[in-house]
A and B are shown apart, each in its own frame.
Chain A
Amino acid sequence: MRKSGDAIELEIFRNLFISIAEEMGAVLGRTGLSPNIKERKDYSCAVFNRRGETLAQGSHIPVHLGAMPLSVQAALGALTFEDGDLVLVNDPYRGGTHLPDITAISPVFVRGRPAFFTANRAHHSDVGGMSPGSMPLATEIFQEGLILPPLKLVSRGRLNEDVLNLILANVRTPEERRGDLLAQIAACEKGRGRVLEAVEKFGLDQVERYAGLIQDYTEIFLRKTLRTISPGTYAFADFLDNDGITEEPVRISVRITVRGGRAKIDFRGSSPQVKGGVNANAAVTISAVLYVFRSLIEEDIPVNTGLLRPLEIVAPPGLIISARFPAATAAGNVETSQRIVDVLLGALAKAMPGRIPAASQGTMNNIALGGIDPVRGRSFAYYETLGGGMGASRERPGLSGVHTHMTNSLNTPLESLEKYLPLRIRAYSLRPGSGGAGANRGGDGLVREYEFGVPTRVTIMSERRVFPPYGLAGGGPGRRGRNILISKGRRTVLGSKSDVTVQAGDVIRIETPGGGGYGPPARKKESR
């Protein structure tokens, strides 16, 4: 073994760190108030060392992977932690990714100094800004909602009511936000208690020592995997449909150079940052890279900062994948991240033929909506994402109607939606034939139809409405997605990114993309 870790203790600590993150997640999921947290589980929890490096993250949302340690590190740089503090941050330019994702961080003090951190990141279904659900078609960050630089929501165990009131005054659904934030506090507390228990049981030195070794451990797996790839440089490029403001496609390209257990991932050649909200900051890009390389490892290992060590990411500031202040970023986290994954996998497919699947739906199909509910006499804001087709692999067809790659949030039961919101779901089904043709077919997308009961503002942030998910090894592309407005019997196809106000009785139908196929499709017997 490279470092003198004890195989037995290593296993004990591996289990320990993972179970702390998972236990935090159980608390957050159960106590959260909004459907996005309680039903869709759109959150992640993790444990960090004193430098803000991840030790283990719960199996939650991959897009939070690379980003959370940056939040902890930004908070460490911005303020001084005291025992009993809890810090919030969502500013994409100070440790966040997009504004709806609010990270809560609490230090674990041992012998008078912060020795560890516990943190969780939750997607809030509204953080103010120009449209309900806070996924607007904006051109600068200020339009997208309330910006929180690292600040203390809890100081030395006391809730900072002023901060909370300021946040709640800036959002459309304050009660829901309050409940979700309290749940985030409870989850951090849970994690803190467990870390302290471990320190009491094993001693600080031992826990810190294995906090280091657990990262070495994860690193070893990635190095071994990288060594199975033939040395060389592999390039791939693909496009985002547009930025929602102009019709211009946005290029993302990568060159991956693999040599001797290391990889350099070079994004130079990607489009510069754009006006609309598809800009991804470096945190999102790191998350996508970590996700892809973690997925190459088949064993069940903790996901932590050790994964980053063999990787060198080249992303000069100002590109679509490394946006600078004050670019709008709402969709960078949810949409651009998916395309970064497609591009990385496309390049790796050349490096590891037969081991990489065709493109999956490549979007999260974000639907944000809100308005005033006259019956319940209050404003409402709601956010959800939709699954689609998974890309086929050499071994098997792609899955249908699932979330792929950077997210894995659950759907909201429509019986819950219809109970609490003035709308109805008319259909929720698979979209037959949308998966790409191939020896193994791509998975099918979904169809979901929303019928509105009151005038409602709807924002759609979606992708793969112009450029379809690619097939591989001779397989065909998945079918592109479509967003359709049906008003008084007239059907209008909406763009990838749309902001519309619908009337009572109108229907929006979302058809999500299919996955790409793998291998040439079998020839039909009779020729046409």
Chain B
Amino acid sequence: MRIVRIGVDTGGTFTDFVISENGRLSTKKLPSTPDDPSRAILEGLREYLEAGPGLVLIHGTTVATNALLERKGSKIALVTTKGFEDILSIGRQTRRLLYSLKGEPRIPLVQRDLCFGIAERTTADGTVERTPPPSAVRTLARTLVRRGVEAAAVSFINAYADGTNEEAVAAELERRGLLVCVSSRLLPEYREYERTSTTAVNAFLMPVLDRYLESLEGGLDKASLFIMQSNEGYISPRKARKEPIRTALSGPAGGVVGSLELARAAGFPEFISFDMGGTSTDVSLVDGDIRRTNENTVGDFPIPLPIIDIHSVGAGGGSIAHIDSGGSLRVGPRSAGADPGPACYGRGEDPTVTDADLVLGRIDPDYFLGGRMVIEPERSRAAIGRLAVRIRKTTLETAQGIVDIANANMEKAIRVISLERGFDPREFALLSFGGAGGMHAADLAASLRMKAVLAPQNAGVLSAFGLLLADSIKDYSRSVLKTVEKTDPAVLERGLQEMEKRGRRDLAEDGFALQAMFFERSVDLRYLGQSYEINVPFPPGGFKSLAEEFHRLHEKTYAYRHARGVVEIVTLRVKARGAAGKIRLRKIPPRPGASAGDAARKIQAIHYRGRAHKGPVYDRSRLSPGLRFDGPALVVDEGSTTFLPPGFALRVDGYHNLIIRKKE
């Protein structure tokens, strides 16, 4: 039977497709249709849908993220323990800006008159002390229906320890036809604000995803659909409807998965991905495996679910340079975005990082976006020149300064993802993609003394490519909150086995055979009294070596161990993975007799650290694998430009990746 697997990634501008058919890969790009993203998807899929059955679609969507950021989509209610109805307004009782006398308002996701308290109580040890009065619950259900609420979040104090009371309320609300999200099912972990907020966010997204998937599935006929979640795996539409929050940060997830496969093949399984776009930059660290974190936020909302650890900063090629009133040259946080865009686009007057790159010769003005867009280098020079006069520097010095400052901001982001997590960037390669990454990657990697820069082929559709490689992943967790000494290993084992059993059942429902199922056990541990946990893979030595493994990781991350400290088991986790059929990347043999010169389009002026150079501009698609050359040079393709500074060497590997190293 014919099986065509297609990864579809919806972005703000383009919808990307990577199609795998009989082991052959092809790509496709269509303009996105933001009002209903499914239109672009169905349009792109039409030829495959018409060709008959056997279509498997893995979809990365920003529908949830956008709904959250815009707070548009549904009307929800929150049900809490009586006395805690204001929990979303109070949050963690802090103000966002320390030195703002006029506090930045924070608007809760649920309006106050739709937050309801129920007189019930579960204690910290999980004893149900008071059950919800049935009459109050019935009244509540009627009220919600009358008020036109679509979905309800139910989150009671201490429900992480026992969810009986939540379930009782949920049952009644569901009976009345409401969508319900229950905190003890979604996130059975302590910290009432974070759990309640997550539950509310999920409830808010339920109607949104429900409507979106309905419109998409309506056009898909018999194709199988899976939705990418924010860890590295996908889930069924049924699960996505129940736990839509799991898709809320899925955009960059595909990119990281795609990067890992490419980087492994290229011989750099340990890398930091660096996706620098126009307005923001995402970095993520992969130490052979994709790392995950529970400390995430989307907009104002904390989302403590295990998702790929991606650090984002609001700086990119469009960040605007200006002189502040203390006389410092600042880059960002304001961005020129796509409109008016950098000065060279012909509309805006503000100089941006992209303008600096252009002035320094790191962009080929005749081949911007593959020549599809005409840019005006004169406008960049004029805009930067205006700044230069004010700080008594030349235009070129100022342009170099803008680039250096932008790089310093990027370096900070990479430090957060590496050094702050206990990793030394010198042991990693920098994998650069995104429109602006390639112009900055070499300097950045050199400054952090990283191993190399890897600029992959087809960087523009990396996210969609990653979707094809993703597995089906399901996360299970339960709170323990007991010290290692007081824990009975048999009880722990039982807990893990129960979660694995659920995993087997859920994966089987998605059509995975037993031999394609894999389980990873891990435990969140901390010193008794600490409030941050370290996720420790369940060691091969089993329970006995658990504490020692924690001491070791704690020392690695925070530079000290608390040898006499009591170790507490906070959360037990199982990650169930259904392995998808893999794609094998194929090596391309070198073209006999090829030389770099064949691919040179022209020679252009390149300014680097105060010196003028001349360097060739190479057409990436015409570079044969196996070629090597030194900087200064540019390598351009339709979606990106890679800048090879003087003193750096480049090699094209068998997968058409560019690998850049600083020369000794």
- Chain A interfacial positions (CB closer than 8 Å to B): 1, 5, 7-8, 10-12, 14-16, 19, 23, 26-27, 29-35, 38-39, 59-60, 62, 175-176, 179, 182, 185-186, 189-190, 217-218, 220-221, 224, 291, 294-295, 297, 299, 301, 303, 345, 356-357, 386-387, 390, 393, 395-404, 408-411, 413-416, 418-420, 424-430, 443, 446, 449
Contact = CB atoms under 8 A, between A and B. Distances in A.
B150 interface: no
Interface in B363-412: 391, 393, 397-398, 401, 404-405, 408-409, 412
A85 B409 CA distance: 32
Contact of B560 (A26, A185, A221, A301): A185
B89 A430 contact: yes
Contacts of A14: 328
A301 B326 contact: yes
Given A220-B326, A294-B99, A402-B93, A35 B531 contact: yes
A404 B95 contact: yes
Nearest to A397: B105
B90 A428 contact: yes
Contact of B94 (A386, A409, A413, A428): A409
Contact of B86 (A393, A404, A413, A430): A430
B481 A419 contact: yes
Given A10-B327, A416-B190, A393 B102 contact: yes
Contacts of B98: 59-60, 62, 408
Given A357-B101, A387-B93, A429-B85, A34 B328 contact: no
Contacts of B157: 414-415, 425
Interface string B58-101: 00000000000000000000000001111101101111001111
Given A8-B404, A395-B102, A446-B93, 9 more contacts: A7-B401, A23-B419, A62-B98, A182-B560, A190-B559, A396-B103, A413-B193, A425-B157, A428-B83
B405 A11 contact: yes
Contacts of B415: 19, 23
A38 B531 contact: yes
Contacts of B419: 23
Contacts of B100: 295
Contacts of A403: 93-95
Contact of A38 (B124, B324, B532): B532
Contacts of A12: 404-405, 408
B327 A410 contact: no
B559 A428 contact: no
B192, B194, B326 — which one has the most chain A CB atoms within 10 A of its CB?
Answer: B326
Nearest to B533: A30
Contacts of B324: 299
The 4 closest A-B pairs by CB, nearest first: A427-B83, A8-B401, A38-B531, A399-B103
Contacts of A29: 532
Nearest to B397: A8
Contacts of A176: 529
Nearest to B193: A413
A414 B192 contact: yes
Nearest to B560: A186
A215 B494 CA distance: 60
A295 B101 contact: yes
Interface string B137-162: 00000000000000000000110100
A356 B100 CA distance: 11
Main secondary structure of the interface of B (DSSP, over half): loop
Nearest to A2: B327
Contacts of A429: 83-86, 90
A23 B420 contact: yes
B565 A179 contact: yes
A410 B124 CA distance: 21
A34 B190 contact: no
| Residue with the highest number of chain B CB atoms closer than 10 Å, among A12, A16, A221 | A12
B123 A418 contact: yes
Contacts, number: 198
B558 A186 contact: yes
A419 B101 contact: no
Interface in B486-527: 527
Interface in B282-328: 323-328
Contacts of A356: 101
B190 A31 contact: no
B328 A217 contact: yes
B415 to A, nearest CB: 7
16 contacts: A8-B391, A12-B408, A19-B412, A23-B420, A30-B558, A33-B530, A218-B326, A294-B99, A295-B99, A393-B101, A399-B106, A401-B90, A410-B92, A413-B193, A415-B157, A429-B85
A179 B566 CA distance: 11
B2 interface: no
Contacts of A26: 420
A402 B532 contact: no
Nearest to A225: B325
B327 A7 contact: yes
B582 interface: no
Contacts of B123: 418, 424
Contacts of A425: 157
A415 B160 contact: yes
A39 B95 CA distance: 15
Contact of B530 (A19, A32, A401, A426): A32
Given A30-B532, A34-B529, A428 B565 contact: no
A473 to B, nearest CB: 14
B446 interface: no
A408 B412 contact: no
B562 interface: yes
B330 interface: yes
Nearest to B189: A415
Nearest to A388: B93
A265 B77 CA distance: 51
Nearest to A294: B99
B156 to A, nearest CB: 11
B191 interface: yes
Nearest to A449: B83
B128 interface: no
B329 interface: yes
Contacts of A390: 95, 103
Nearest to A518: B102
Q: Which of A185, A416, A429 has the largest count of B CB atoms less than 10 A from its CB?
A: A429
Contacts of B102: 357, 393, 395-396
A190 B103 CA distance: 32
B94 A408 contact: yes
A397 B102 CA distance: 8
Nearest to B90: A401
Contacts of A186: 558-560
B531 A39 contact: yes
Contacts of B101: 295, 345, 356-357, 393
A96 B257 CA distance: 51
Interface in B525-566: 527, 529-532, 557-560, 562, 565
A348 to B, nearest CB: 10
A398 B103 contact: yes
Contacts of A15: 405, 408-409, 412
Interface string B192-207: 1110000000000000
Contacts of A10: 326-329
A68 B558 CA distance: 24
B531 A416 contact: yes
A457 to B, nearest CB: 21
B246 to A, nearest CB: 23
Nearest to B98: A59
A31 B560 contact: yes
B325 A220 contact: yes
Residue of A31, A62, A224, A397 ringed by the most chain B CB atoms within 10 A: A31
A503 to B, nearest CB: 20
